[in-house]
Amino acid sequence: MPRELTQNRIQKIWVPTKDDRRRGGAPHFANPPTVIVMVGLPARGKTYMSRKLTRYLNWIGMPTKVFNVGEYRREAVKNYSSYDFFKPDNECAVKIRQQCALAALRDVRSYLKDEGGQVAVFDATNTTRERRDMILKFGEENDFKIFFIESVCDDPSVIASNIMEVKVSCPDYRDCNKTEAMLDFQKRIECYKKSYQPLDPDRYDRDLSFIKVIDVGRRFLVNRIQDHIQSKIVYYLMNIHVQPRTIYLCRHGESTDNLKGRLGGDAGLSPHGKQFSSALARFVEEQQLKDLKVWTSQLCRSIQTAEHLGVPYEQWKALNEIDAGVCEEMTYDEVKEKLPEEFALRDEDKYYYRYPAGESYQDLVQRVEPVIMELERQENVLVICHQAVMRCLLAYFLDKSADEMPYLKCPLHTVLKLTPVAYGCKVESISLNVEAVNTHRERPEEVKRGPGTLIRRNSVTPLTSPESNIKKPRIDDLDEAPIQELPPSVSALALCSPSHIPLTLPGQNLMSSPGRHDILQPCQ
Amino acid sequence: GSSVPQFCNSPTMIVMVGLPARGKTYISKKLTRYLNWIGVPTKMFNVGQYRREAVKIYKNFEFFKPDNEEAMKIRKACAAAALKDVALYFTKEQGQVAVFDATNTTRERRAIILSFAMEMGYKVFFVESICDDPEIIAENIKQVKFGSPDYADRDIDEAMEDFIQRIDCYRASYMPIDDEKDRKLSYIKIFDVGSRYLVNRVQDHIQSRIVYYLMNIHVTPRSIYLSRHGESELNLLGRIGGDTGLSPRGQKYASALATFIKGQKISDLKVWTSHMKRTVQTAEALGVQYEQWKALNEIDAGVCEELTYEEIQENFPEEFALRDQDKYRYRYPKGESYEDLVHRLEPVIMELERQENVLVICHQAVMRCLLAYFLDKPADELPYLRCPLHTVLKLTPIAYGCKVESFFLNIEAVNTHRERPMNVNVSRKTEEALQTVPDHI
């Protein structure tokens, strides 16, 4: 007899009645956990790629964490003196560095076996065969798949630029000036060069799975992709770039439905919405960008907003607002009145909650993923979309978890300007000073958490890239004086736990903002 | 317009490179099929076909000897003719991508193509296939060369012998794409049927998609089974969409499907369903693990969900006529079109390419989209492909295409297939609109 099926209340997924766990909601592709092993000389972008990849994998629902051996070393050796530490004949240091790598691997194992992790990114130079063989053995012993990402680059200007961007301000160099730091770092690189054995696809490493990223993505060598996740990782790495550029996210102008407090629908702009669109056109012009791409959804209010810009724009159905199913065009009060249980369920678990015959934020993430991939390929882009969609995109750029995503503040008539910087993204929130209704519903105070809200292993839940195991100075409030260990420039660079970054973007007081607020919101 | 931005501005030429029997035509055809399915107008230009037109009778490998001046002239002319047709395809037929399928093994030939493209403003992306495994080569020759018109009157051993010598003719002058000299070109080198790839200077979105696709396809033998859910309660009533469970006959089909699958003795079968009750119920009967994909959900009929065709005609006669006018592009109000479905299904296709044996339990419109991909059916045929209930389609790749076997599992079900009626005008009468509606309760 086939098993009885019920539709689980939050996700609306049909499951055998006896089994009420929260479901993946999407096929699981990762079975044995995977360790991604970075390889390359210092200043080749390993940490940059590690963090970006981790952010992407977490966003698509694959629990991933970075293990940066340099951080373990900084814990073990409180004060970095000079590049001498990295000399191959410095026996004492070599021992310490070996211990650090082993400690990191122990944490990798525990993350993948006991903490529900699916992918661990082992971020270190891993430049010798000896070290890599050790890691391969570790993988075999624990039944982990191993995938190497090697970054090869010999362009001195790229290296110098990397050093300036992320190394001179790193904790190792807090007592040095920039020139000193640069010189020391270059000598550090020399220490590694002699013993560097790049991956050898023709002989020694021909049976390994890896990608060699050459000259910042000009060229790739891909060997033996084993599975779905490695294929996606390769595709992602081939689409990202490091050209400076800016992404602008905003919602359509206020719509007539917004005025009535109605969800969804396909209404046109209200008079204020039209005002915003003109203001947006002026704003875009003032930004003086070369080659700005403009993307909209296929809903009227988004297209109408773009029309005011007087430039070509592309319509993406994938950018349409979340489908509220049977609740489309109702007000929240009407939903509460007609479907009180659904209303309560949504507040219980807003990320997973799927409107009857509609979508959930989880569905949105899947829908919007090709947009993210194309955003990575592009340079300057303005995306004119919708509240829930914008929250999804923002969560990707700012590394916000599934739990936070549905409550990110994306008010009408405000442009978020995102600029990649160092390992993360700078956000500026710019209100264009046109009145609009507030469509944001806060997370209710008393929310009954039903069963099945535990995050399960392999469940498809965007997580914030977890902070490392190493005790890092915590910065509870960005206005507070930074803790002594870090120079002021570094505290701005997102070494703090993402969960400490306030969800409210300052300056979003819609009714009375006297002007633009260019707030620097550093975040991972 | 379409539901996805058009990313191609300059037309693109994909230029195959490699010795004979390296899978160039296989890749060309598959890539062309994929690109057309996702909505990028693509056409293949196989220079060998031009040669067969020019030289009606193929005698033997001597034609391909590098010192055969007469033949060289003809071959050059064929390549030039193909390039001319590429230009015509782009300018007169709104083509977006042309796949230039030939050996293109000399730098000289590639230089000609590059300068042609530069002159015309086309982008060029090379796909080189390198393989030295004699077993793979022999297998390729068996799979596709014996069936070629060139060897129609030969026996297998003769054909094999001749073809091997043909390959040797190319070998001496073969200059693979060079990492140094060709560092400015955009290309992918495929080694040993996908064991390794070298990718250089991907210029744009379409090239990135092509690379991703090429890295996901494989040639391991396997079968894909496509089936709809068992007959549902709404099917019986002639209603579209919705999310009901199986009718009693639908349940019987689910059991019959389980028996059928067991009988196929498939190793490692993956089973995929949608998120809708009727497919999940069908899979439940199999007693094996299955994965649910929201992307496999039936087309969203928007305001027409759960209506019968008669009700649609009564309430939305104009919409009903518009749908018959262009069933592929027509989007239900607040719903989806077949075109939207294709984009929604693309990740499913990509994963199907990666996988081996898979059974996909889905829905009528979805199954039509998937089938159109595998059988290379164009957009205007897609919405009318026959995917009846209680029938499993078994697809097995062979040679350059796909073999289809249809298994009706002998459980009666309603017919849900509605042909295009004769009159698709918005001014048509009700009887004309309902002319082709299948019977229901």
Label the pairing between strands A314-315 and A381-385.
unpaired
Which CATH number is A247-442's, of 3.40.50.720, 3.40.50.1240, 3.90.180.10, 2.30.42.10? 3.40.50.1240
So what's the pLDDT on residue A422? 83
CA distance A375 to A369: 10
Catalytic residue among B70, B180, B298, B319: B298
So what's the pLDDT on residue A475? 35
Q: Does B344 belong to an annotated binding site?
A: no
Place of tokens 């004492």: A92
Q: B205 vs A238: CB contact, 8 Å cut-off? A: no
Question: How large a percentage of chain B has pLDDT more than 70?
Answer: 98
Q: Does A256 belong to an annotated binding site?
A: yes
Residues of A210-246 as b/e, b for ≥16 C-beta within 10 angstroms? bbbbbebbebbbbbbbebbbbbbbbbbbbbbeeeebb
Asked whether residue B214 carries a pLDDT value surpassing 90, the answer given is yes
Place of tokens 């340079």: A379
So what's the pLDDT on residue A23? 56
Query: Do residues A72 and A103 make contact, with C-beta atoms less than 8 angstroms apart?
Result: yes
Asked whether residue B215 carries a pLDDT value surpassing 90, the answer given is yes
Distances (CA, A) of B383 to A360, B35, B123, B225, B327: 29, 18, 33, 20, 6
Q: Where in chain A is the domain with CATH 3.40.50.1240?
A: 247-442
pTM (2 d.p.): 0.89
CA distance B268 to B348: 18
So what's the pLDDT on residue A464? 59
By Cβ distance, the residue of A218, A222, A295 closest to B215 is: A222
Asked whether residue B112 carries a pLDDT value surpassing 80, the answer given is yes
Show residues of chain B in contact with A264, CB under 8 Å. Answer: none
Confirm or reject contact between A18 and chain B (CB < 8 A).
no
Q: Give the total residue count for chain A.
A: 524
Mutate to test the interface with B, among A207, A230, A317 (most CBs of B within 10 A): A317
CA distance B27 to B100: 11
Place of tokens 């294929």: A231
Summarize the confidence of residues B28-46 as an average pLDDT: 97
The helices-and-strands tally (H runs, E runs) of chain B is 15, 12
Touching B: A residues 302-321, CB under 8 Å: 314-318
Residues of B111-139 as b/e, b for ≥16 C-beta within 10 angstroms? ebbbebbeeeebbbbbbbbbbeeeebbee
So what's the pLDDT on residue A438? 95
Touching B: A residues 25-54, CB under 8 Å: 25-29
* CA proximity to A265, closest of B441, B303, B104, B132: B303
Catalytic residues of A: 252, 321
Q: Does A251 belong to an annotated binding site?
A: yes
Confirm or reject contact between A163 and chain B (CB < 8 A).
no
Show residues of chain A in contact with B196, CB under 8 Å. Answer: 201, 221-224
Show residues of chain A in contact with B293, CB under 8 Å. Answer: 26-27
**A112 token code pair:** 């993948």
Q: How many CA atoms lie within 13 A of B361 on its CB side?
A: 32
Confirm or reject contact between A235 and chain B (CB < 8 A).
yes
DSSP for A427-468 reads EEEEE----------PPPSS----TT-SPPTT-----PPPPP
Query: Do residues B16 and B28 make contact, with C-beta atoms less than 8 angstroms apart?
Result: yes
Q: A363 vs B196: CB contact, 8 Å cut-off? A: no
Distances (CA, A) of A129 to A46, A97, A204, B44: 18, 16, 9, 45
Q: B351 vs A235: CB contact, 8 Å cut-off? A: no
So what's the pLDDT on residue A280? 98
Confirm or reject contact between A218 and chain B (CB < 8 A).
yes
So what's the pLDDT on residue A18? 74
Q: Would you write out chain A's pLDDT as a tens digit for each of its 524 residues?
A: 668 899 989 999 999 887 645 555 555 555 799 999 999 999 999 999 999 999 999 999 999 999 999 999 999 998 888 899 999 899 999 999 999 999 999 999 999 999 999 999 999 999 999 999 999 999 999 999 999 999 999 999 999 999 998 888 888 998 889 999 999 999 999 999 999 999 999 999 999 999 999 999 999 999 999 999 999 999 999 999 999 999 999 999 999 999 999 999 999 999 999 999 999 999 999 999 989 999 999 999 999 999 999 999 999 999 999 999 999 999 999 999 999 999 999 999 999 999 999 999 999 999 999 999 999 999 999 999 999 999 999 999 999 999 999 999 999 999 999 999 888 899 999 999 999 999 999 998 866 554 444 333 333 445 556 665 554 433 333 333 332 333 333 333 322 223 332 333 333 333 233 333 332 233 22
CA distance B331 to B327: 8
So what's the pLDDT on residue A499? 32
Show residues of chain A in contact with B295, CB under 8 Å. Answer: 366
CA distance B74 to B110: 17
Q: Give the total residue count for chain B.
A: 441
* 8-state DSSP, A167: I
Label the pairing between strands A210-214 and A219-223.
antiparallel
Mutate to test the interface with B, among A14, A18, A294 (most CBs of B within 10 A): A14
By Cβ distance, the residue of A234, A315, A317 closest to B215 is: A234
- Burial class of residue B154, CB neighbours in 10 A (0-12, 13-18, 19+): middle
Confirm or reject contact between A205 and chain B (CB < 8 A).
no
Q: Does A109 belong to an annotated binding site?
A: no
Mutate to test the interface with B, among A222, A266, A377 (most CBs of B within 10 A): A222
Confirm or reject contact between A344 and chain B (CB < 8 A).
no
Q: Where in chain A is the domain with CATH 3.40.50.300?
A: 34-239
* 8-state DSSP, B196: E
Fold of domain A34-239: Rossmann fold (3.40.50)
* CA proximity to A2, closest of B279, B147, B29: B279
**B117 token code pair:** 């493209």
Label the pairing between strands A414-421 and A247-251.
antiparallel
C-alpha A382: how far from chain center = 19
CA distance A354 to B278: 19
Show residues of chain A in contact with B212, CB under 8 Å. Answer: 231, 235, 238
CA distance A218 to A231: 18
Helix axes B364-375, B24-37, angle to 10 degrees: 150
Residues 6+ apart with CB under 8 A from A260: A331
Q: B3 vs A298: CB contact, 8 Å cut-off? A: yes
CA distance A446 to A142: 43
Domains and CATH numbers, chain B: 12-215 (3.40.50.300), 224-434 (3.40.50.1240)
Distances (CA, A) of B142 to B21, B149, B156, B319, B398: 10, 14, 8, 52, 11
Query: Do residues B253 and B230 make contact, with C-beta atoms less than 8 angstroms apart?
Result: yes
Q: B351 vs A201: CB contact, 8 Å cut-off? A: no
Does residue A383 sit in helix, strand or coil? strand
Q: A228 vs B291: CB contact, 8 Å cut-off? A: no
**B218 token code pair:** 């494989």
**DSSP bridge pairs for A119:** A34, A64
**B306 token code pair:** 């759960």
By Cβ distance, the residue of A23, A27, A316 closest to B293 is: A27
* CA proximity to B42, closest of B4, B79, B95: B95
* 8-state DSSP, B254: H
What band does B6 get if pLDDT is binned at 50, 70 and 90? low
Cα distance from B56 to chain A (closest Cα, Å)?
43
What band does B4 get if pLDDT is binned at 50, 70 and 90? low
DSSP for B123-169 reads EEEEEEEE---HHHHHHHIIIIITTSGGGTTS-HHHHHHHHHHHHHH
Query: Do residues B200 and B185 make contact, with C-beta atoms less than 8 angstroms apart?
Result: yes
Query: Do residues B106 and B181 make contact, with C-beta atoms less than 8 angstroms apart?
Result: no
Instruction: Output the CA angle A364-A366-A371, nearest 5 degrees.
Output: 90
Show residues of chain A in contact with B351, CB under 8 Å. Answer: 27, 29, 228
**A423 token code pair:** 């390992």
By Cβ distance, the residue of A2, A219, A222 closest to B284 is: A2
Confirm or reject contact between A358 and chain B (CB < 8 A).
no
* CA proximity to A65, closest of A31, A99, A34, A43: A34
Confirm or reject contact between A458 and chain B (CB < 8 A).
no
Show residues of chain B in contact with A363, CB under 8 Å. Answer: 294
Residues 6+ apart with CB under 8 A from A108: A35, A67, A120, A122
CA distance B29 to B43: 9
Helix axes B205-216, A228-239, angle to 10 degrees: 160
Question: How large a percentage of chain B has pLDDT more than 90?
Answer: 89
Alpha helix (H) residue ranges in B355-403: 364-375
CA distance A283 to A216: 33
**B116 token code pair:** 């042609």
CA distance B41 to B32: 9
Show residues of chain B in contact with A318, CB under 8 Å. Answer: 3-4, 343
By Cβ distance, the residue of B200, B205, B354 closest to A231 is: B354
Residue with the bigger pLDDT between A26 and B152: it is B152
CA distance A282 to A294: 14
Torsion sign across C-alpha atoms A214, A220, A224, A225: positive
Instruction: Output the CA angle B120-B124-B127, nearest 5 degrees.
Output: 150
By Cβ distance, the residue of A13, A235, A374 closest to B212 is: A235
Q: What's the ipTM?
A: 0.93
Summarize the confidence of residues B140-154 as an average pLDDT: 84
